[in-house]
Chain A
């Protein structure tokens, strides 16, 4: 029998098949990223602690929203939620350079390097003392060392900041979000958005002043290569403008 030639397969429709698949994936691909505001939930406490120090009114920045989605920021009724961020910035910056006792904004303390250093040595001494006490609770030791860490952080921050003093907002100063059960999530998210905007703006300005760099540039670079210097820069910004948000559980 004569040798028959094997006919070549026509590959002309290969492209069509590939196109079909391509179009399927093109259509089903969603490029949207998941974006969110990350928050921490406080730990549950079994017994509520007693004799807590009273928080001064000037240190509270309360944002209240009722079930009709009406807003109240501190003592002012607010129509437009876009104004929240301005008020937050005002809250942080009014007394930043000079404490004025008569206004209703949180006080700042300005600590110098010598003060930080003496506090640091005192903290180390204290921690070592507790460590050497027989049957000291491990939590307390841990807690004391955490204080030492904090002072170390402050010391490093002031070095980076390059000024004589490190301004620090009152430890009690915080922002609280009080919503009611029926408040729409849209408004709740808007409040979060405004807070984030305000904090970002403050930190961004500080970062530009101190390092001539945008805050977002630093955080982005840090997320990529975990550089130690960037971490310290971010720590400084967090000391200058801490984000202490409290979300109050609505009452039934």
Chain B
């Protein structure tokens, strides 16, 4: 008589998966919280140049002390053609603004109104003066620098005196 019972043939017991939804939900909530949605999708394509030793704009973004301005070629080919005929290859796109006329927003003339509108629509507790509200220019690699200075000039007129030139930080040095 053997002392040991012969094991009967048994399949591997099923893994209890009842807590799987919990784990997945946890991950889900993490991503939901971590996601920041863009204020608006620019209608111009921007391929940023690279640079090092940049400043991170996230804290300004969290305090809404920053406005984004895009400078690139329009994505819509029909629009690109239309403006290229007028000699405007690179166009502007301004973030988040009520736009009575979409074409209006591609001009440097509209910057002042856009910036002032945004500044006035900020809640009163954000007491940052307009000089220090950053205007972040996200320009395409090939954009002409002259346009950057056109933008600067417009900002100077309304005393919005802080700009930021956006680049992609390759930070490997």
Give chain A's interface residues, CB within 8 Å of chain B.
Answer: 11, 14-15, 18-19, 21-22, 25-26, 28-30, 32-44, 65, 179-190, 192-193, 196-197, 200, 223, 247, 249-250
- The 8 A CB mask of B24-53 against A (1 = contact, 0 = none) is 110110011011101000000000011111
Q: Tell me if A196 and B136 are in contact (CB < 8 A).
A: no
- The 8 A CB mask of B12-26 against A (1 = contact, 0 = none) is 000001101100110
Interface residues on B, range: 35 or more
B26 to chain A, nearest CB (A): 9
Q: Tell me if B24 and A180 are in contact (CB < 8 A).
A: no
A65 to B146, CA, bound (A): 12
Q: Tell me if A21 and B28 are in contact (CB < 8 A).
A: yes
B163 at the A interface (CB under 8 A): yes
Judged by DSSP, the binding face of B is mixed
Nearest-CB residue, chain B, relative to A189: B49
B58 at the A interface (CB under 8 A): yes
A51 to chain B, nearest CB (A): 24
B72 to chain A, nearest CB (A): 10
B170 to chain A, nearest CB (A): 9
Given contacts A29-B34, A190-B51, contact A19 B24 (CB under 8 A): yes
Nearest-CB residue, chain B, relative to A188: B145
Nearest-CB residue, chain A, relative to B146: A181
Which among B61, B146, B168 has the greatest number of chain A C-beta atoms within 10 A? B146
B163 to chain A, nearest CB (A): 5
A22 to B71, CA, bound (A): 33
A196 to B167, CA, bound (A): 13
A54 to chain B, nearest CB (A): 25
Q: Kindly list 16 other residue pairs between chains A and B, CB separation below 8 angstroms, not including A40-B163, A193-B50.
A: A22-B24, A25-B31, A33-B56, A37-B54, A37-B164, A37-B165, A38-B55, A38-B134, A38-B162, A39-B165, A41-B161, A41-B163, A44-B156, A186-B142, A188-B165, A193-B167
A221 to B35, CA, bound (A): 26
Partner of B153, one of A34, A40, A249: A249
Partner of A25, one of B21, B32, B55, B164: B32
Q: Tell me if A188 and B57 are in contact (CB < 8 A).
A: no
Which among A34, A42, A183, A188 has the greatest number of chain B C-beta atoms within 10 A? A34
A196 to B148, CA, bound (A): 19
Given contacts A25-B28, A44-B156, contact A186 B141 (CB under 8 A): yes
Which among A11, A44, A188, A189 has the greatest number of chain B C-beta atoms within 10 A? A189
